Structure 1
């Protein structure tokens, strides 16, 4: 069976089940007697085992099968949930995640899980597993253990007239090429039947990573005599042992969940499963659809310009209808690209648990607003910055239990991760109830690094001082650890967030805690902008950054230290001439039309010649040859075919 066509579905569903196991294990750790949580974990593990076995990923199937055995004992009250069980299951999940990731990268997903399987078996039985208790391969007289999937294959084969044999092949002591000899054995047997299971794994056997003998289960319609003669045709074989393999002697048990109780059947009758109304679509197709729609938006702008040029009622009506339809299409397409931020947040409970143990701290994580949606492009990029910020709060923010008790706080620290919409932006807040940021320590380090002078430090507000921690190479850690202290991380966070068109604000209160607030655009591809004219050039300013447009008279423009400013509702706002910033012309700047923009709590006024109007534009990258152009985030094509630069307002706020 060719399984290549199902690999994407397998990967998607495997990740979902592994995440479900992760989430439920964290719940089980807090509620170890809640059997319903164990049932959920068991179901996910069981489904994952079935999928991986069908796809031929034996190591995943083997590990999930042994996880199932442990979980089955727990749910039938034969085993209690302990820290050892939780830690070992987490280790198994981590190994499964590595194997699934390996498969997604085009590899075979192989991993040596013998030790984990052995440890899980020891937990299940309460005694050392057979793999630990014995050295070398099991003798032919001792039946190989098989799982449910392998048992099903053997049963079906027997029903179709096949016989099952357990075969052990022992090579001579002086055999130098064990791997090739074993390969020849399987090659000779291929016309006679099929090997179901090998000990050790096939890869290990073919590489010669075994003692002098290896065993395997073989199904065939041929006699044991013919099989033995076929094997003995290979040289350097000392002994071949063949025994019949009986399913009656196996202890393979069909999972109890497949046999419904009367109560389960009643419940199933009452609650019929809802039909799925969703389909999985490759993200590349959605991106391609988005690119095609962006071309439609550009042509729509052209038609709007043409309809104004040629006065025709039918043309105007058609263009107006097209505008309405494409606006609805745009909303639907953007909604298709929006995914819950939970896809990023769900990795953090496990991370906080593990790092808390490493740091010998007691820390809980509260997640609020995980259903908040963001554009997939932003989701893909925001994960790493959040990891850095949370690790920073764990290491620098939250104190040790002893220090918290001395400060009159609860022994357990708390980190809150909150996401919410506001206007055309999504805000993500990382809040901790730790010690807060020490202004004096930050100032001292900043002066030492030459970021500010002693005189300048006295003029800075708390927020401005706190923002210094985002400088490259900045760290207040006394010791370098695996978690932080190298001065790498927060500068990357700031750069990444700003590259997404967002911003980050820090606030802190000594002894009470800190908050990092990230502001991000909802989407990056289609923007609502204000088109403005500067001499003969047209620029687009994102509406999300605009507070207001103002027409000034010459006397309204003031000067402070040689800088043009204006009075805007009682606040002094610096004025920035786009003509001078972009070097549009050498003419004297006599512009009095102003666009007030805002970044955080800071504002600036952009001097332009005139306002053209609001326009939906498609953001296009300037390419690799025009990277890092000051205050330009991209370009778009207008309806008249003119290329229009899109301004990055964050870079112009002074």
Structure 2
């Protein structure tokens, strides 16, 4: 039987189930005694296993089956959830995602998951198998000894080292030994790091930077490091420092880096396995005869968790594009027909056209909703990522998501995920301080990362805001001048916003403070390139010591919007209704001039008055010659402004057309539309006027 025809359906549904599994596992981690969540997780895993087996992906089905065995014990109250079980199940989900990704890229979905399967089987049996002839205590000692010489690299740090080798840098693994008679080890370590930071970039240390600063290490420490200098030169520089006993340096290539990564992974797994073996008895609960209330509860759980299957079909996005274009043309003709019917003044024709307008309005709402997807489909991957990052960085972090129901065009949703991953990782790695630093600064020990989405005009804004250390202008400028990105004179003339934009320069890093991943510039050039390609842009607002806000503005890319049509002389313009607060009329004597800017009072607040006729050089209209001016009050966030116009034409559904490749991006104009009489009207972008 040819399964290729079902492949796309399998991939889509597998991704849905994996996303659901990740979300529910995080939920269960917060409420480990909630059996109803376990039931949902078990059903998703069972469905995924069945699909994989049907499609012939044996490794995927086998791993899911082992997960099922563990979950079955938990839902039958024969096993209590523990940290090790959560970590193993999360590791299993990561492996499943890698397999599905391999299938998407044309692979077979095969992977070596023997270590994960062994851990899952050990959980089921209530025992951890030991290597031949090695007792648990000996094994733990060996692992602890290994850990002193192996640094746990996560995927992000591994990719930085790998990319550095590709770009011609040297990736080194250093181990520095301080003399036994040294009295101030932390000071010597600081001198070593100070030397290293001047010649390259520290990627990861063992022990952690905080432990080294507090002298919580024996007489040696190790680190991964990127530099342009040779091994001999680095060794000579470090040994020149006083009270350094010896230093060993290994230069890494792609192959050796991979081996080091595998060693770190295996050491971590053996350590976790050994730890579990010591506490097996406390992890497995002896099954007891359930009382009547427990039995009743189980029945209720089954009732509440069972649901009606969703009635959905998957449609190729290209078909939706065609449907949208056809409906756009239909809408232009509908507006034209309404105009002709009003001129003809035929009752029956007018009645028919009005009915057609009502039907097409309903049709329009459906067509628009088909392409729109909630940003929740992107946001829901971040709680798991924050959990893993907080654990690996030993930080306490709360992720607060608001506006996840905000909808974006499917094409934008597909592309925005990776840039947001970079920005959130940046916020956690370099924005949020360690627990000790936060307490010293008088902040709560738990840092907060706010991820929010909201509509404004014809755009969607996604903001990543954290209450961390903030960005220091002088640090950014110092590093930019050092790297030759700007001169001192240019830097002095730049605004804070322009200085912060330097963070998006390729390879830029402030790297003033030693950290496991130094600098704020890793990957941010990729972020800006991707967002610019989508027709959006990023702005940064930061208060040193208080936190940073990265704001991403993205176009809705809707083909049809509701707008207010206005007249300026012989020209017509459209303003999106979502940006309009109010319309009104002002007299000339109500206009005030403040510091050379025209201002008007709006509900007790002075707001700027913007002359559209002057901005667009309309030849046959000048509002200053009129006693009264119509205004439209627009808003972006908490900022408002008033646009002066000649007359209102009325509200209308308009088709958004781009200005084409030959016209550059014009500030204040987001596109154009064809009106019912065949005229072209420009669609204004109120956000640009507020700026």
**Partners of 1:418 and 1:429 within 8 A in 2:** yes
Q: Distance in 2 between matches of 1:427 and 1:370?
A: 12
* Gaps in structure 2 of 5+ consecutive residues: 135-293
Residues 116-515 of structure 1: matches in 2 within 5 Å? 116-121=116-121, 124-125=124-125, 126-128=127-129, 273-276=306-309, 278-284=311-317, 285-419=319-453, 430-438=464-472, 449=486, 465=496, 468-471=499-502, 472-473=504-505, 476-478=510-512, 482=517, 485-486=520-521, 488-489=523-524, 492=527, 496=531, 506=541, 508=543, 513-514=547-548
Instruction: Pick the aligned partner of 1:575 from 586, 590, 610.
Output: 610
Compared CA separation, residues 500 and 326, structure 1 to 2 (3 A):
farther
Q: Measure how far apart 1:612 and its partner are.
A: 3.3
Q: Measure how far apart 1:312 and its partner are.
A: 2.0
Q: Measure how far apart 1:530 and its partner are.
A: 2.7
Equivalent position of 1:57 in the other structure: 57
Equivalent position of 2:684 in the other structure: 647
Q: Distance in 2 between matches of 1:55 and 1:129?
A: 35
Equivalent position of 1:617 in the other structure: 654
**Partners of 1:338 and 1:374 within 8 A in 2:** yes
Equivalent position of 2:88 in the other structure: 88
Q: Distance in 2 between matches of 1:54 and 1:640?
A: 58
* Gaps in structure 1 of 5+ consecutive residues: 134-260
Structure whose CA Rg is larger: 1
Compared CA separation, residues 643 and 102, structure 1 to 2 (3 A):
farther
Compared CA separation, residues 290 and 451, structure 1 to 2 (3 A):
farther
Equivalent position of 2:26 in the other structure: 26
Q: Distance in 2 between matches of 1:475 and 1:552?
A: 51
Compared CA separation, residues 587 and 539, structure 1 to 2 (3 A):
closer
**Partners of 2:570 and 2:620 within 8 A in 1:** no
SS in 1 for 2:520: coil
SS in 2 for 1:620: coil
**Partners of 1:549 and 1:595 within 8 A in 2:** yes
**Partners of 2:497 and 2:540 within 8 A in 1:** no
Q: Distance in 2 between matches of 1:352 and 1:265?
A: 33
Compared CA separation, residues 269 and 533, structure 1 to 2 (3 A):
closer
Q: Which moved more, 1:492-501 or 1:471-480?
A: 492-501
Q: Distance in 2 between matches of 1:543 and 1:61?
A: 51
What are the superposed Cα offsets for residues 497-527 of structure 1, whole Å, 9 maximum, x if unpaired? 896679867475x655455566777772211
Residues 64-79 of structure 1: matches in 2 within 5 Å? 64-75=64-75
Q: Measure how far apart 1:363 and its partner are.
A: 1.6
Q: Measure how far apart 1:490 and its partner are.
A: 8.0
Q: Distance in 2 between matches of 1:410 and 1:101?
A: 39
1:539 aligns with 2:582: no
SS in 1 for 2:651: strand
**Partners of 1:368 and 1:418 within 8 A in 2:** yes
SS in 2 for 1:405: helix
What are the superposed Cα offsets for residues 313-345 of structure 1, whole Å, 9 maximum, x if unpaired? 222222222222222222333344443332122
**Partners of 1:339 and 1:373 within 8 A in 2:** yes
1:565 aligns with 2:598: yes
What are the superposed Cα offsets for residues 401-426 of structure 1, whole Å, 9 maximum, x if unpaired? 11123234443323343456789876
**Partners of 1:478 and 1:485 within 8 A in 2:** no
SS in 2 for 1:565: strand
Q: Measure how far apart 1:454 and its partner are.
A: 8.1
Q: Measure how far apart 1:432 and its partner are.
A: 3.3
Compared CA separation, residues 540 and 631, structure 1 to 2 (3 A):
same
What are the superposed Cα offsets for residues 352-397 of structure 1, whole Å, 9 maximum, x if unpaired? 1222233231223233454454554553354344334422321233
Compared CA separation, residues 406 and 455, structure 1 to 2 (3 A):
closer
**Partners of 2:22 and 2:93 within 8 A in 1:** yes
Q: Distance in 2 between matches of 1:407 and 1:105?
A: 48
SS in 2 for 1:357: helix
When normalised by structure 2's length, the TM-score is 0.62
Q: Distance in 1 between matches of 2:305 and 2:85?
A: 35
What are the superposed Cα offsets for residues 191-217 of structure 1, whole Å, 9 maximum, x if unpaired? xxxxxxxxxxxxxxxxxxxxxxxxxxx
Q: Distance in 2 between matches of 1:75 and 1:358?
A: 29
What are the superposed Cα offsets for residues 536-585 of structure 1, whole Å, 9 maximum, x if unpaired? 54332323334455667788888888x7735454636263555664x776
1:637 aligns with 2:674: yes
Q: Distance in 1 between matches of 2:305 and 2:599?
A: 66
Q: Distance in 2 between matches of 1:529 and 1:323?
A: 17
When normalised by structure 1's length, the TM-score is 0.65
Equivalent position of 1:43 in the other structure: 43
Q: Distance in 2 between matches of 1:263 and 1:546?
A: 55
Q: Distance in 2 between matches of 1:97 and 1:542?
A: 41
Residues 101-120 of structure 1: matches in 2 within 5 Å? 101-120=101-120
Q: Measure how far apart 1:54 and its partner are.
A: 0.6
Q: Distance in 2 between matches of 1:264 and 1:604?
A: 58
Compared CA separation, residues 35 and 267, structure 1 to 2 (3 A):
closer
Q: Distance in 2 between matches of 1:305 and 1:441?
A: 62
Q: Distance in 2 between matches of 1:302 and 1:528?
A: 17
Q: Distance in 2 between matches of 1:335 and 1:653?
A: 29
Q: Distance in 1 between matches of 2:488 and 2:526?
A: 14
Q: Distance in 1 between matches of 2:371 and 2:644?
A: 35
Equivalent position of 1:97 in the other structure: 97
Q: Distance in 1 between matches of 2:94 and 2:79?
A: 22
Equivalent position of 2:261 in the other structure: none
**Partners of 2:540 and 2:548 within 8 A in 1:** no
Aligned length: 517
